Amino acid sequence: MKKKDLAGQHPPKNKRPKEQGENRIKPTNKKAKPKIPKIKDRDTADSAPKSQSIMMQAMDNGRFQKPAATVSLMAGQSVELRCKGSKVEWSYPAYLDTFKDSRLTVKQNERYGQLTLVNSTTADTGEFSCWERLCNGYICRRDEARTGSTYIFFTEKGELFVPSPSYFDVVYLNPDRQAVVPCRVTAPSAKVTLHREFPAKEIPANGTDIVYDMKRGFVYLQPHSDHQGVVYCKAEAGGKSQISVKYQLLYVEVPSGPPSTTILASSNKVRGGDDISVLCTVLGEPDVEVEFRWIFPGQKDERPVTIQDTWRLIHRGLGHTTRISQSVITVEDFETIDAGYYICTAQNLRGQTTVATTVEFS
SS (H, E, C) 124-139: HCEEEEEEEEEEECCE
| Distance from C-alpha of 302 to C-alpha of 149, rounded to nearest angstrom | 54
In this prediction, residue 206 carries a pLDDT of 84
In this prediction, residue 228 carries a pLDDT of 85
| Distance from C-alpha of 342 to C-alpha of 305, rounded to nearest angstrom | 12
Contact 72, 187 (CB under 8 A): yes
In this prediction, residue 329 carries a pLDDT of 96
In order of 184, 324, 357, 358, 359, the CA distances from 262 in angstroms are: 41, 11, 10, 14, 16
Contact 220, 251 (CB under 8 A): no
Specify the pTM: 0.59
In this prediction, residue 6 carries a pLDDT of 43
Among candidate residues 318, 236, 246, 320, the one with its CA nearest the CA of residue 283: 320
Each of the 362 residues of the chain gets a pLDDT tens digit; together they read 444 444 444 444 444 554 454 444 444 444 444 554 444 444 444 444 445 789 999 988 888 999 999 999 999 999 999 999 999 999 998 878 766 678 999 999 999 999 999 999 999 999 999 999 888 877 888 888 889 999 999 999 889 999 887 777 888 888 878 999 999 999 989 999 999 988 889 999 888 889 999 899 999 998 888 888 899 999 998 888 999 999 988 887 666 678 889 999 999 999 999 999 999 999 887 778 999 999 999 998 899 999 999 998 876 544 556 788 999 999 999 999 999 999 999 999 888 999 999 999 88
In this prediction, residue 254 carries a pLDDT of 62
Region label for 347, one of left (φ > 0), alpha (ψ between -120 and 50) or beta (otherwise): beta
Residue 266 CA from chain centroid, whole number: 43
Contact 309, 326 (CB under 8 A): yes
